[in-house]
Each structure stands twice: as structure tokens, then as C-alpha cells.
Amino acid sequence: MPIITIGLSHRTCAVDVRERFAFSDADIPAALTELKARGLVSEGVIVSTCNRMEIYAVTNSSERKVLDELRDFIVAQKAYNNAINGEFYLYSEPQSLEHLFKVACGMDSMLLGETEILGQLKKAYDLALQHKHTGARLNKAFQRAFNVAKHVRTATNIQRGSVSVASAAVELAEKIFNTLEDHKVMVIGAGDTSEKTARALLSRGAQSVIVANRSFDRAAALALELGGTAVSFDNWTEEFQDIDIVISSTAAPHYILDRTKLEPIMKARRRRPLLLIDIAVPRDIEPEVNFLESVYLYNIDDLQAIADGYLKQRQEEIAKCEAIIREKAQALLEPSASGMSFQPNLAQPA
Amino acid sequence: MDGLTERGFFALAVFGYGLSAIYSVFLWRKGFQRDDRLNYAVLAFFFIAHTTAMALRGFSLSRCPVNNLFEAMMFIMWTIVASYLVLGLFRRLRFLGAFASPVLLAMGVFALMPGLDTTEGDVSKMASLHAALILLSYGAFGIGSFAALMYLMVERDLKMHRARAILSVLPSIQRLELISTRLLIAGLVLLTAGLSLAPVLMKDRYGVFFQADAKIVWSGIVWAAYAILLVARWWSSQGGRKFAWGAVGSFSFVLLTFWGVNLLSKAHQP
């Protein structure tokens, strides 16, 4: 009985289509029960995240026929009336297994190599397992997928480094400071990216956060969310002496921090390192401050370049990961591993 | 290896440090992105030959082998490699080997030059202790200067927004500064202890506590340089780049003048 996969993802359709086909956790057990009751599948797992909806199933009927029927089932379930035009991918072995392994490794994710999908995959599998919708084949395939993801993470650089501006900023801070635990963060301008960056720094142990914003109410709201304190925008420089990391993203049309202002502050700080992250456009911090000793200024382009560097490094690892995945999928399909012989079929795109 | 003398074992170790220096160029070009286990293993392996050379010389003389320029160099290098092998237990500090091995190669080649391995007369235990403490301090200054050199590289990469600053597997600049400072403190303590024995040895040998010998004056300058560097580090917050340059500069001064000062010193001739 082969494992088949049907699904759609960020690669094949836009979010407005993906959201139409999404399953909530509450709906998944009933959908799997229905599939089994119709005799389409004997085992099944439904993975539904913001970037994909996939069904992994075991069938004892003709794969091509079941894949078509599965697609029709999903379309009917979600009352999707528009024409289907290449949104779905349909895989039979060995591609179905290779795809599962790729998903587990984050190789099919929007952010190459991200690890969140592994947790989502485990959750989807646990849900099916709890409701007894999995059997020997899917249990083995999913367990193997989790092992492959672990192996790929340790054997390659596919998950190494930061590929977002917020995590690049954290990594940068960790290259400057011994530990983030005794360092304070200041957020100037309560924008979305600065909030994410502050959150990322706090999650890595930063001591506290101070928020300064033109609208004090917005600063207070963000400070409350981050567990920090809000200060008036006119007085933010007074707090500067104790701050080690600054994230600036105001809408000011001119520099709010320049060399003349920072020089005496650095003297008072006894030249302790200061990381300035300027993600505002137009920029908030005069580039000249980077020439001051112990001051490290990074703007949005610098951070993006770091993230791109890591992404490039991850892309260079794809071939290595694919070779591991192919080998592991073949090993799983060998008669000794699966307990029976399978005749692999080629994938048929919808 | 039965036929190898202590000089043979030492030459083997220097050859290994040379291999490590070549591999270090590769690590440098790759931006220190790979774990430095291979370099660590190479240095650890040839450290065995180095230790064997030290032990053979020590047993043959029945004292610590620190009494001529060859032995002194061998001892300083041994201290540097031993310190590195301890620090290198921490993954991110393993790259110190890439900074140390080219200097070890240069020091080793210099030590193997003919004419440096002179025969000394009887040397008292206190004189051996005096020399050993001072050479240990130079080892600590050496590895401290490599940490400072690494600091300068990482700091510059961070300032210039080079990808290597982030993509490399190197420690933070604060940690490098901390390590460098601690090693320099350890070195200064050892140097102070070693130099404090000097007046007693002078009194025994020349009947005076002090004389304006080239090496004695030079040692005082080295001690003062490191003391000023460390005091300035705290009192006037002269950390960061200035401190790192000070550490690198001071050790370079020691390395470049050590041989000449020994030749000029009458009090340190057999």
C-alpha cells in the first residue's frame, strides 16, 4: 500500500486560495474519518498551516484514481467553485516520501530551512495518531521524516543563521556582547519591525526594553506588551547612558541621532559597546557615528544583506540536503525497511 | 621514533605547526565558518612531539629546560600550545589556533637555527624557576595577543559590515576582550613572580641586587608596558581596539627583541 500526497502550498497558489482550503484542528479528525469511510484511504494525516494544506495518505486502490478523488473531495468540502488550474500537486512514491522529508526539513518552506514547520508537522501527525487515523506505514514515514529533519540539521547548514531582519539583529548583538542578559534595549519609534526585533532580543535574554515614541500612548502600549517602560520622545537621550542596543524606526525626515550628540554620551558610557540598528527610511541615525569607537551602526540594508548572506548559504546546501533525502526515502522503500515490496510510480501533476 | 633526539622531536612539532599554519590560510579564506576541529587535532597531535622533546631535554639535564635561547623558545611555544589546547575546548575559541600557528612556525624555525642551543654550566633551581616563570608569562602574553588579534579582526569586520563578522564561528568581541585581559593578567602575575626572584639571583652571582644589564632593563620595560596596559584598561576605560593593539604590540616587541637582548645581556650569559 503506497503513500500518496495531495496538497497545495505557497509555491502553487496565493494566500486567498490557501485560506479557502485551510483546515482547522477541529475539522481535521472528521475529514479523515470521512475519507476512511468512503474507502479512499486506510491511513491519513492532514497538515494545514498558513503556507500549505496537504494530505498524506495510504491507499490500497489505484493511486491516480485516489489522488483525483481526494482532490475532488477537498474541493467539495471547501465548496470551492473556481476552476482548478495547477494549484494542487499530487505525488505517489517515492516523490510523496521525498516531499514529506523536504517539508520536515523546511526545504519547501517560504523561508528556506525554517524550523517552525517541523513542529507543525509533528502536531498534525499527533492529531491523526490520537484519532487512530495513522497505521504502520504513516507512523514509520513520519517518524523517519522527523529523524531526517534532525539529521539534515546537524549534517548541513540548511538551518544555520538568520534569514530575517529581526534575527539578523539578534545575531549581530551576540557578536558584540558576551551575553545579552545584562543589556538594555531601547526602541525609538514603535514600528512593526522594531517591535519584532525587540521581541527577538528579549527572547534571547536582553534585560529590559525602553520604548520612546512620538505618541506616548503608543509607546506605553508597546512597552506594556514587551514588559518594558515607556519614556517621552523628547527625553529619550536621557536614558541613553544605560542602553546598549538601540532600534530606531521613526518617521522623522531628518537624523534624530548624530555624531555631535553621541560623542559626549559615549564618553559618559566609558566607551562601552553600543549597537545601533537603524531600520527607518529615511534613516534616523547619521552614518558618521559608525566612526566613533565602540559604536556599531547597522541600517536596514546592512541587516538585509546579512539575512541574504545566510539565505545564499542555505541555498548552497540544497543539493546536499536533497541527496540525503533521496537516500533516506529509498531506504524507507526498500522491502527490508517497509516489510513489503513497492512499485514506485511517477508523480502526476494535477 | 627511537632514533629521534629532542631536537628531532621539536623539529617534528614545528613541522606540524607549519601544516597547521597552511591549513589556517584555508580557514581564513573560508571566513572561519567551519568548526576548527581539524586544526585543533593537528596541533594536539604535534604537541605530543613537542612535549616529548621538552621531557627528553629536561630529563637529560635533570632540570627544567629553560637555559638557552633554543630551550626558551621551545618553552614559550609549549606554553602557547598548551594554553590553546585548553581554551580550544570551547568551540568558538578553537580558531585561536589559526592565529597562533603562523607565529609558532616562525618561532620554531628561529629556535632551530644553529648556535642557539648552547651548553650551559650548572644552573641553580632558583634560576630555573626564575626563567620558567618568566617564559610561562610570555606564553600567556602570546596567547592573549592572539585573542587580541582575533578581536581586532572581528571588530573591524563588524565596523565594516562584512558578512564574515556574522557568518563566522567566532566569539563576541566582548568575550575576546575578556579572555585577552585575563591572559594578560595571568602573564603579568607570572612575570612579576619570575622577576621578583631576580635580585636574589643577582646577589648570589654578582653580590648586588641590581645592575643596569640590558635584559634586566628590558624586562622592566616589558613589565611596565603590560602593567600600564592593564591599569589603563580599568582606570581610563582604554579597552577595545586600543587595548587590543597594545596587547599585540607588546607581544610583538617581546618576540622581536628577545633574541637581541639576550645577546646584549652579560648577566644572562653562561
Q: Give the pLDDT confidence of B237-265 residue by residue, as tens digits.
A: 666 889 999 999 999 999 999 888 888 87
Average pLDDT, chain A: 86
Backbone phi, psi, residue A345, to 5° = -110, 155
| pLDDT surpasses 70 at A62 | yes
H/E stretch holding B138 reads: helix B125-159
Q: How confident is the model at residue B2 (pLDDT cuts 50, 70, 90)?
A: low
Q: Would the pTM of this model clear 0.80, i.e. be above it?
A: no
pLDDT tens digits, one per residue of B140-189: 999 999 999 999 999 999 999 887 787 788 889 999 999 999 999 999 99
Spatial separation of the C-alpha atoms in residues B268 and B113, rounded to whole Å: 20
The stretch A155-177 carries a mean pLDDT of 82
Backbone phi, psi, residue A298, to 5° = -125, 130
Could you give the ipTM of this predicted complex?
0.80
Whether the CB of A168 is below 8 Å from some CB of chain B: the reply is yes
CB A294 within 8 A of CB A180: no
The angle at the Cα of A170, spanning A164 to A173, to the nearest 5 degrees, equals 140
Tell which residue, A98, A141, A93, has the closest CA to residue A344: A93
CB B167 within 8 A of CB B31: yes
Measured CA distances, B247 to A57, A173, B59, B152, B233 (Å): 65, 25, 35, 11, 11
C-alpha cell at B52: 616529548
Q: Quote the pLDDT of residue B60.
A: 87
The angle at the Cα of A276, spanning A271 to A281, to the nearest 5 degrees, equals 150
Pick from B159, B167, B241: CB nearest A161: B167
CB B136 within 8 A of CB B77: no
Number of residues written out for chain A: 350
Using a CB-CB distance cutoff of 8 angstroms, which residues of chain B are in contact with residue A293?
240-241
The owner of cell 517621552 is A232
Q: What is the distance in angstroms between the Cα of A326 and the nearest Cα belonging to chain B?
A: 25
Spatial separation of the C-alpha atoms in residues A283 and A250, rounded to whole Å: 8
Q: How confident is the model at residue B270 (pLDDT cuts 50, 70, 90)?
A: low
Pick from B163, B165, B240: CB nearest A294: B240
User: Do B167 and A174 lie within an 8 Å CB cutoff?
Assistant: no
| pLDDT surpasses 90 at A166 | no
Using a CB-CB distance cutoff of 8 angstroms, which residues of chain A are in contact with residue B240?
271, 273, 293-294
Q: Quote the pLDDT of residue B238.
A: 65
Using a CB-CB distance cutoff of 8 angstroms, which residues of chain B are in contact with residue A278?
none
User: Do B159 and A296 lie within an 8 Å CB cutoff?
Assistant: yes
